[in-house]
């Protein structure tokens, strides 16, 4: 990762700060496309009975996009205020969905106990993505998969200037306007610009225990869905 990357230390405290407006701001800054991107996971989900772990679950939107496809879903996050909102949103599913406070760098579950792991817009916020990958491999059953959604830089030379302008100028202002915390959304756009993507990201997954990794691009490559197989 770039040495110019913003600090990820105690980032969960920032997310707790913006938790009351987090969902609404997501809809605004993505023009509602965040929900569409989360549904892209569905075509890569395992069939049959399955147990899902959603890392950096936040307010539980990724679980809600997939809950009908699994037998059990557990959301894991360090941001307790976000988890409380997620628990309320998932209340209708009873014991099928659980929210747990914990770190993606030290997943509090035994080896080989999940059929699928999801992580949306969270991997770039951990202090050490390689350890997160190793933990995913540890708790996934053999022959299972991790699905990781993340923002990325557009490569197209015509579109890239507009994408950069949006990330640097529009996104922080919109985020700040609706949340009251512009600095949080400055951080978000900076991490998108500095985080590895595409084949570099896939290579990191392979280096840290996945047997196969692939990348799927959406919205001109501004969002990537990575699939890693154990």
Q: What is the pLDDT of residues 151-198, one digit of tens each?
A: 998 988 899 888 888 888 888 788 777 677 666 666 777 778 889 999
Q: How far does Cα 230 stand from its chain's mean position?
A: 19
Enumerate the domain spans of the chain: 11-229
The greatest distance separating any two alpha carbons of the chain, rounded to the nearest whole angstrom, comes to 48
- Average pLDDT on 74-80 reads 96
Measured between alpha carbons, how far apart are the two ends of the chain, in Å?
24
Q: How far does Cα 121 stand from its chain's mean position?
A: 3
Q: Which residue shows structure tokens 């950069």?
A: 164
pTM of this structure: 0.90
- Report whether 133 contacts 205 (CB < 8 A): yes
What is the CATH code for 11-229? 3.40.50.150
For position 228, what pLDDT does the model report?
Answer: 98
- Average pLDDT on 216-229 reads 96
Say which residues have a Cβ less than 8 Å from residue 92's Cβ, sequence separation at least 6.
none
Burial class (CB in 10 A: 0-12, 13-18, 19+), 47: exposed
| Distance, CA of 37 to CA of 219 (rounded, Å) | 9
Least confident of 84-98, 136-150, 158-172, 182-196: 182-196
- Average pLDDT on 96-108 reads 97
- Report whether 16 contacts 128 (CB < 8 A): no
Contacts 24+ apart (CB under 8 A), 196-200: 196/1, 197/150, 197/152, 197/153, 197/224, 198/152, 198/224
| Distance, CA of 193 to CA of 201 (rounded, Å) | 14
């Amino acid at each position: 990762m770039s040495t110019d990357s913003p600090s990820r230390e105690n980032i969960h405290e920032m997310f707790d700060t913006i938790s009351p407006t987090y969902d609404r701001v997501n809809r605004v800054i993505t023009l509602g496309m965040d929900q569409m991107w989360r549904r892209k996971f569905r075509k890569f989900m395992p069939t049959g009975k399955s147990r899902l772990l959603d890392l950096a679950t936040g307010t539980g939107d990724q679980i809600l996009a997939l809950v009908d496809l699994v037998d059990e879903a557990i959301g894991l996050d360090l941001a307790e205020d976000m988890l409380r909102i997620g628990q309320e949103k998932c209340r209708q599913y009873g014991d099928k969905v659980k929210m747990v406070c914990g770190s993606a760098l030290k997943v509090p579950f035994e080896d080989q106990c999940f059929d699928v792991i999801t992580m949306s817009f969270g991997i770039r916020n951990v202090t050490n993505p390689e350890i997160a990958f190793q933990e995913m491999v540890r708790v996934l059953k053999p022959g299972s998969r991790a699905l990781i959604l993340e923002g990325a830089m557009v490569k197209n030379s015509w579109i890239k200037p507009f994408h950069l302008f949006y990330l640097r100028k529009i996104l922080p202002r919109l985020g700040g306007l609706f949340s009251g915390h512009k600095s949080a959304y400055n951080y978000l756009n900076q991490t998108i610009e500095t985080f590895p993507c595409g084949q570099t990201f896939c290579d990191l997954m392979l280096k840290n225990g996945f047997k196969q990794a692939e990348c799927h691009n959406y919205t001109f490559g501004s969002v990537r869905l990575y699939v890693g197989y154990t």
